[in-house]
A and B are shown apart, each in its own frame.
Chain A
Amino acid sequence: MSLTIAIPKGRLGSQAIDMLKAAGIGESIDEKSRKLVFDDEQRNLRFMLLKNSDIITYVENGVADIGISGKDMIMENSADIYELYKMNIGKCKISVAGIKGKKIFKDDTIIKVATKFPETAKKYFNSKGQKIKIIKLNGSIELAPILGLSDVIVDIVETGNTLKANGLEVFEDMYPITAMVISNKISYKLKRKEIKEIIELIRKEDEKYGENN
């Protein structure tokens, strides 16, 4: 029985591919080529390179059996999938940030929040009892408070350097983020042994990575 594995393009994907290669299952993947699908006929594996934010859609709908995706995307989409393994790569935080020193908001104000993650932001501020207005942006989120479009931003923070360079600071860390190996629910039932084998291979490499970093 064959297994289809969805891998994100970009930095997270490169790290994941290195890991798969080290585990001895990723040699069919050629990142330099423009191809998006790679078949490993010997092992009956198919790899698909997809946009990070699309991995969940492919896995949830069963086009891919398993996939590697950031926890940020999983939370935002609240998809019906299994979160089988939390990896040591892709570590960062999703945080609330704003203009340095402008941290105070009065009791009943509605805070304007610029973000790529509206659902996650809603859930977080709701649990704090804070009313908000979401401003959905797709990039350069850091600009929003500076230009007066929003009071704060909710975004992924890795080193905090981008924030600093734009005169912003983290007000609050919301959730820790890592990459996860996710699986389609039905695939997990029908191909459980195969899926567990692959995850075991990834886990071994990932733990090695975790020890060294």
Chain B
Amino acid sequence: MNFLNIEDEMKFFQKMYVLRKDIENFLFDEGYMNIEPSIFEGYDDFIGVNSRIDKKSTVKLLDNNSEILILTPDITTGIVNKFMPRWEMSSLLKIFYYGKTYKHNGVGIKENREMGVEIIGERNHFTDENILNTSARIIAKYSSNYLFEIGNSKFLKGIMQSCSFKKEDYENILDILYLKNRQELKDYLSKLPYREPMSTLLNIFDLEGTFDEISEELKGLYMNDLMKQGLDELKKIDNYMKNITDKITYDLSMVSELSYYDGTIFRGYIEGSNKAIIKGGRYDSFTEQYGYKIPAMGFTVELDELIKVLYKEEQ
């Protein structure tokens, strides 16, 4: 057995460097500006925004005043916290960054390299299209066997709001959706007082596939304004994406670990990899905590995962 030697390790670093530069150059040419993200976040601020994140997995440290800090598990949170307090209404940010996120994974601290893209403050209707197009072009550079999965959190939010669940039930139902456990969802809902939107919730695992398949499944099911808004946004994306790639699937039950997403959510997968290579979405309501709702959207490319796929293809 040959363990990693210096030569191979150097090769890996060069490969990572080339990959990183490759994507950076592409984004720079597309008109995005580079920033350097901070690796520290305030623990309370972070958990306040991302209540669904696994608290045990955060890497904590203490500063001089015994305030708890964490090494960032999500760079977008830091960027919003950095710019929003001094935001001017006319500002427009189109940025990209290279950074690392940190998490305890049970054995130690896992560093994760990622490349991120954010568009904050663009007041037209093309941000979704631009972000999706950019991410699709990145993934297509590295593999032809990829798949984009797109959802819209407003649809699920619309159901959950009009069911007016208690906080505990709300969280438990999200956990069940996260596992796609159809029978448990049915059992759980049957114990709660019946509300009409539950009829759609019970069928939510069938609301996946092509947009036409979803429209067909939705016939006769309960729908309110917020759900309709989410669906309309998805339809608009479908009309646009059709011309770019056919490697798309939609899923209205998509739940993200990051709870700030509000609207379009998407992930990009490559065959042969066991993790999402691209993760992103719209997070307008995140900025609302600072007093104003600003259109904001972004995605990250998981470099460590992507390079694994590229290595595999080479061997």
Contact = CB atoms under 8 A, between A and B. Distances in A.
B147 A189 contact: yes
B269 A83 contact: no
Contacts of A86: 181, 183-184
A173 B179 CA distance: 24
Contact of B209 (A81, A82, A85, A192): A192
B274 A189 contact: no
B179 A82 contact: yes
Contact of A186 (B182, B184, B209, B275): B275
Contacts of B183: 85-86
Nearest to B275: A186
A186 B180 contact: no
Contacts of B274: 61-62, 184, 186
Contacts of A83: 179-181, 184
B269 A189 contact: yes
B182 A84 contact: yes
Nearest to B209: A192
B149 interface: yes
Q: How large is the interface on A (under 10, 10 to 19, 20 to 34, 35 or more residues)?
A: 10 to 19
B271 interface: yes
Interface string A176-189: 00000000101011
Interface string A81-106: 11111100000000000000000000
B163 to A, nearest CB: 22
Contacts of B276: 186
Contact of B180 (A61, A62, A82, A190): A82
Nearest to B273: A186
A189 B151 CA distance: 13
Contacts of A188: 180
A86 B269 CA distance: 27
List the 9 shortest-distance A-B pairs measured between CB atoms, nearest first: A62-B274, A83-B181, A82-B180, A86-B183, A83-B179, A186-B274, A189-B269, A189-B149, A186-B269
21 contacts: A62-B274, A81-B179, A82-B179, A82-B181, A83-B179, A83-B180, A83-B181, A83-B184, A84-B180, A84-B182, A85-B183, A86-B181, A86-B183, A86-B184, A186-B269, A186-B274, A186-B275, A188-B180, A190-B269, A192-B209, A192-B249
Interface of A: 61-62, 81-86, 184, 186, 188-190, 192
